[in-house]
Structures are given as structure tokens and as C-alpha cells.
Amino acid sequence: MTPRHRILSLTSLAVAVLWMAGHGVRAADGVANAPTLKQPTSTECVPSSDGFIRRWLILEPIPAGGLTDGAVQALVKKVHFPDQFTGLPKDGDKASPTGAELVWHAVETTEYNVNLFHFARALGKPTSNVLFWGVTVIHCPEEVKDVRLAIGSNAASVWWVNGSEVIGIYGDRQTIIDDGVSKRLTLKKGANIVRAAVVNGGGATDFCARFLDANDRPLKGFSVRLVGESK
């Protein structure tokens, strides 16, 4: 490593530490032990080459049961924490949906999917009969019309974009790319909040999500920041 590279590396590290401090990302987190997840070290990222959103805030699992349409809808409509459908937590924020204190974790997957089994196991949390809440923010340079959110999940899941419920898939199921797809929607210029509730029965659990453009091709050209509009 040349002295110049060393200076650049140190500078990058300092920027990352400052960003993490500013966004509440803790320097060490059990999530780091998850084989397919890492903590974000930059202010933003872009979707993968095939459009998957890799950076999310995930709340530690809430005990839950039932995968039928009715059971899942009743579960996600129940208020688990304040601002459930409007808030934008930060890494390290806490919620107490069942009395026990649960923590939001900023994660970035190295794969197309977010492995919730890895997430929970790395934190020593249960992986079966649980509900995971996830949220991310995508920033669009311009308004984009006629796009669709396209997700897969293990198992049932419900999804919201900017507060509107757009997808619900139910039953004991595995993650399939573009399993649940929303109707056509518009992403506004700036921050758009994507929220997910994934309910697992037993075994593996994960999800993947991307947007499709008007021609059903993966949407790119946006960034993922985990924060809303700059004040």
C-alpha cells in the first residue's frame, strides 16, 4: 500500500465512521456474524445489477403465528410499535412490541435476497413463528411512473410503498424472484419509503425486492439511503 493509498483508506474509514455515527450505525453488531449480511459503511448504495434492493433496516423478530390471508392481515394491521406505517427508524433504534425490547439493525445483503434466518440466528433470536418488519428508502432523481414493486418472500409478506399497501402474498411459501408484484405505481422524485412485514412459520426465511419498469425490466437509476429527505 502506498502512502497515498494509506491516506485515502484512512480518510474513507473516517468518513464511514462519521456517517455511521450520524446515522446511528453502531461500530459492532451481531449482524456482522451473519454470513450474507454486513453493516452498511457508506451513505448510500445502488441496487444490484438486476435491480435488487440490498440495504434495509430490519427489526428483530416478533413472535407471531398464522400464514393464511386472514391471519397475516390481522397480524400486520395490529399496532406493534408507534409509527408502524409512517416512521423511519435508525440503526439501533428500539421498539417494544411485546414488552421485550427489540432493536432495528441496518443491514446490507451480499446476495439478491435478505436472509432473515441468518439475521435472526446471528442475533440469537428465534427464526420460526415470527414476524419481521423491514423498511428502506429509495431516492429517485426524477418521478418514475408505471413501475411495480416485485418481491419474493419466505413465507407470507405484506408490502407498502409510501404508505399504501401494494402487495400481500400468503401461505407457507419460499422466496421466488418476482413472486408478488404490485399494480402499476408512481415513484416520486426524492425519497420513497418501502416497508415490508414478513411472517415465517418454520425453517428458512428471507425476502428479495426490486422494482420493475414499465417494460417489466429491473428498475435502476436510484439510490438506497435508509434516510428520508434531507432537511
Partner 1 sequence: MKAAIALALNAVIAEAEKRPGSIIMKSLGSLGMLFALTTTVVALDGEVRIHDPSTLVQCNGRFYTYGTGGTCLVSEDGWTWSRGVTPPRRGMAPDIIHVNDRYLMYVARNVGAQPRADINLIWTTSLDTQSTEAKWEEAGVVASSDGIEDCNAIDPGLLLDPNDGRLWMVYGSYFGFIRLVELDATTGLRIDAQAQPVNLAVNCEAAILIHEAGWYYLLATHGSCCRGADSGYNIRVGRSRNVTGPYLDHEGVDMIRGGGKLFAGSGGRVIGPGHFGRIPLGAGIEKFSCHYEADLDRGGASVLDIRPLLWKDGWPEAGENLRDGTFQIESVRTGTALELAIEGMPVGGRRERRGGAGAAGIGAGGPGAGRPPGGGGGPFAGIGRPIPNQDVAQVSTNWPAGEVPLRMANYLCQAQQKWSITAVTNAGGYLGSPYFKITVANTDRALAATAEGELAAVPAFTGAPEQLWQIDQLTDGSWRLQPKSTPGGSEPLALSAIGASFATLSKFDAASNKHRWILKAP
State the SS3 of 191-231: EEEEEEEEEECCCCCEEEEEEECCCCCECCCCEECCCCCCC
By CB under 8 A, residue 103 contacts partner 1: no
Q: Which residues pair with 104 in a beta bridge?
A: 59
Provide the mask over 206-225, with x wherever binding to partner 1 is found by CB under 8 A and - wherever it is not: ------x---x---------
Sign (positive or negative) of CA dihedral 67, 72, 75, 81: positive
Range 41-70, binding partner 1 (CB under 8 A): 68-70
Contact region for partner 1 (CB under 8 A) — 87-95, 132-140, 170-178, 192-200? 170-178
Q: Please, what is the minimum distance in Å from the beta carbon of residue 170 to partner 1? A: 7
Judged by beta carbon, residue 111 or residue 165, the one nearer partner 1 is 165
Rounded to whole angstroms, the Cα distance separating 121 from 108 reads 16
Nearest distance from C-beta of residue 184 to partner 1, angstroms: 7
Shortest reach from residue 51's CB to partner 1, in Å: 14
Contact residue for partner 1 among 54, 148, 195, 225 (CB under 8 A): 148
- Beta strands of 5-87 (E only): which ranges? 37-38, 55-59, 62-63
